[in-house]
Every structure is written in structure tokens, then in C-alpha cells.
A and B are shown apart, each in its own frame.
Chain A
Amino acid sequence: MEEAKNWANLPPDVLGLIFNKFCFKEKLLIFPRVCKSWNHAVLGRPNCWQTIDLLDWSLPREYSSSDHDIDKMLRFLVTRASAAFQEIVIGNIQNDLTFSFFIDHSRSLRTLEIPWSNVSDSIVEHVAEKLSGVTRINLSYCRNIRVRGIRAIGENCKSLVGLKRNKHPFDISCVKVEEATTIAATMPKLKHLELTFNYFDMENVEKIIESCHELKFLDIRGCSYVHLNHGWLQKCAPKVMVLGPNINHRDRIDDANDDDDDDHNVDDNDDDDWWGYNLRGL
């Protein structure tokens, strides 16, 4: 190769591809600082920021990030990536203002995962209209979201195919079965549903399976009031893979993945993480 070439002016398409292989923190702490033209190339390109996965960074158990940090970060993302993000995974959002500011500025959102967040029912109701394009939502361990929030999601996100609404085993604040009823009533397109450690019974499970015709995966581990009616399941829901209610029920995950490879159609390919029964962070 010729004399030492300087790669400051790497074509943006090439830089973008390399950039997208990095995790959020590296994207932010390395690339923009290398030189001015890289800064311009990555911060100026909305498609560099379509997928934002900050779960590891924002988890409460790490105690590494404060409420203030998350607020600052979301504001940064909104100003840099404007409306471009399609997928956001961030835990531990502590206030409604941050959440609504963020949703107000996200026009292309398809996947919204905010486990362990403190956002309230009223703010979810307030922004739900703007979430109409969202197809997958993770509201696990969000203790302040109750049935009203779930109903607002169901009524507005008409294309919702995935819902994670797992509860913490020691969280007894969220007793009600109404959530299960609401899911059955408002989310008929669900394919993937996680409801671990909830307090409904087999009747609710039947209702959900009867209403969600496309359901393929139902996780009800830790839902100790459910006494599975295997006969009914085999007859009425042969295609639904049910995990639980036994909390140690993980052995079938591998089988399910095998099935997936064999007979699932191509359009699920972009959903690997979700449909792959990857239980990370849940």
C-alpha cells in the first residue's frame, strides 16, 4: 500500500458499519473523540443511533448511574439522533418528565424496553398515543404501572406483538388479575408474552390464549395460582409454548429454539433477541 494513509476521512458508510458493531458506551466515548471528522460523521448520522441498548449501563443493581445521568443521556440522544431511534432499551427511568420528553421526540420507535422504571400510569396514558408504531414493549418491574397503563398501551399500540410484563417475586403490590384481563382484551396480536410472578389463574391464561390467536410463547413462571390444564392446552393451544408456572422450568427453552429454526418464517428474523427466549435482564 502507498505511503501511510490517514483514515480520518473514512467514507461515512464504512465508518457507520464499523461504528454500529460497538456498544453504546464505546460509540460515545471513543468515536466522536478520535477527530473532528469522525465526530461529525457519527453524531451527524441518525442511522448510527437507531438501536440504543443501555440496559447494562442503567440497571439499578449496578448503582453506577444516577437518575440525573439517565436524564442527561436521554436528552443527549434526543438532540443527536433526533427522531431516528427505533429500538431503545434502558432501565431505571426514574421520572415521568424524562420519559415523556423522550417519547415526545421519538417518532420511529418500534421497540421500547424500560424495565425497572418508575414511570406512572398517568404518564403512560398521556404518551400512549405516540407509541402507536411500537411493536414490542418491556415494562417488567415497573411497579408504578398498573392496569390503566397497560390498557392505554393495548388501546394505542395496535401492532403490539411482544409484551414483557414480568414482576419481581417479592413485589406484592401488583396483585390484580385485571392486567391479564386487559391484555386479553386489548392485545390480540401478541406472539410473545412474558408474565412471570403474576397473580392470575388458569382462567386468565385460557382467556389470553383464546384472544391472542398468534401467541407462540407464554412465560408464566412463578405464577403460583395457575394450575395448568394440560388437556385444554393441548387441545386449544397446541402451538403455544408455555413456560412455567414452575419457576425452574427452563429446560424447554432449548427445544423451543430448535423448533424455531425449523418452521418459523423469515419475517421473524429481525426479532432474534426477543423470540430467541433470551432471558437477559428479566
Chain B
Amino acid sequence: MSKKTLTLMSKDKQLFNIEEHLAVQSVTIRNMVKEDGASSVIPLPRVDSETLALVIEYLNRQQAPEEDEDYVKKFVDERGEIPTLLELAQAALDLDIKKLMDAACMKVADLIKDFTLEEVREALRIENDRTPEEEKAIRDEFQWAF
């Protein structure tokens, strides 16, 4: 019996093939396969092709179970860019791949560990959306902790 292959589609409409027995490490895909056999293409509307390629690479790994923890760690270590890791974490959330999501989040936490407030905003490209008065109010609320 030949191995069954599934096709995943990224939000920019690129197609990726992956063997079903590997794809079902994703709980989301496993449930889809269970429900309708997932014969057609599985769309992943929030995952871009670069990230999906990484996820596929991860799912295709050939690690012995006892080496898997180390592998996941190394896998995210090698992708040390915060935006890449966040994309990966979000994709792992959508696909429900817990180990990958945990590892990616852990890595992001490590990277921003010693950042100041401003540095966090900068790294994640977040604009401060508070007025100076609102800033002061929230600072006052936590005054006791400073």
C-alpha cells in the first residue's frame, strides 16, 4: 500500500505535499482527516508559504523519539528571528502542534527577556497606542511594583 499524501495550501496559495502519517502530528489535520478523509486541499488561511515550508520541514523530521526534544529546540534555535518565530508559533497554534508552539514561544521569551519596554515594542513593531495621560495612569496603577 502506498503512503497517502495530503496537500496543504498557504494563504498565498502555494501548495505543499506531505505524507498523511506525518501531517497528522497536527491535531487540526488529524481531526480533518478523521472527519472527511481530507481528500482535497487543506487551506491554511493564516499561514504564509515561508512559514508553512518551515512547518513542513519540522513535520518531516526523522528523529528518534528520545532525541526529539533536542531537535525541536535546535529547530527553533536556528530560526532566531523574532518575527519568524512568532509566525511559526501562530502556525503551530492554528495547526495544533503543541511541541512546536511551546518551543517557539520559549525561544521568543528568551530573546526578549532582558528587553526594555521600548525594545519590546520595537522588536515586535508595536506602536504605543496610549496617550501620555494613559501612560501615566497605568504607571500609577503599578507604582508599588517599581
Contacts of A236 in B (CB 8 A): none
Contact check, A34 vs B126: say whether CB atoms are below 8 A apart.
yes
Q: Count residues of B near A (Cβ-Cβ below 8 Å).
A: 39
A255 within 8 A of B: no
Contact check, A14 vs B126: say whether CB atoms are below 8 A apart.
no
Interface-side segment among B28-36, B37-45, B69-77, B85-93: B85-93
Contact check, B126 vs A35: say whether CB atoms are below 8 A apart.
yes
Interface-side segment among A21-29, A107-115, A127-135, A274-282: A21-29
Interface on A for B, CB 8 Å cutoff? 1-2, 4-8, 10-11, 13-14, 17-18, 21-22, 25-26, 28-30, 32-36, 38-39, 68-69, 72-73, 76
Q: Mark interface residues in B106-128 (1 if CB within 8 Å of A CB, else 0).
A: 10111011011100110011111
- Tell me whether A1 and B87 are in contact in the complex, defined as CB-CB below 8 angstroms, given that A14-B93, A35-B121 are known contacts: yes
Give chain B nearest CB distance to A95 CB in angstroms.
16
Cβ-closest 8 pairs across A and B: A21-B109, A17-B105, A7-B124, A72-B144, A69-B144, A14-B89, A8-B126, A18-B105
Report the separation of the CA atoms of residues A18 and B83 in the bound assembly, to the nearest whole angstrom.
14
B50 within 8 A of A: yes
B138 within 8 A of A: yes
B102 within 8 A of A: yes
Contact check, A29 vs B146: say whether CB atoms are below 8 A apart.
yes
Contacts of A69 in B (CB 8 A): 144-145
Closest residue of A by beta carbon distance from B88: A14
Contact check, A73 vs B108: say whether CB atoms are below 8 A apart.
no
Report the separation of the CA atoms of residues A28 and B139 in the bound assembly, to the nearest whole angstrom.
10
User: Can you add 7 more A-B contacts, CB < 8 Å, to A17-B89, A36-B129?
Assistant: A10-B124, A14-B86, A14-B90, A17-B106, A18-B108, A29-B142, A32-B142
Report the separation of the CA atoms of residues A200 and B19 in the bound assembly, to the nearest whole angstrom.
67
Q: Which of B83, B90, B110, B120 contacts A34 (CB 8 A)?
A: B120
Give chain A nearest CB distance to B126 CB in angstroms.
5
Closest residue of A by beta carbon distance from B128: A35
Contacts of A35 in B (CB 8 A): 121, 126-130
Contact check, A29 vs B145: say whether CB atoms are below 8 A apart.
yes
Contact check, B117 vs A30: say whether CB atoms are below 8 A apart.
yes
Closest residue of B by beta carbon distance from A8: B126
B20 within 8 A of A: no
B84 within 8 A of A: yes
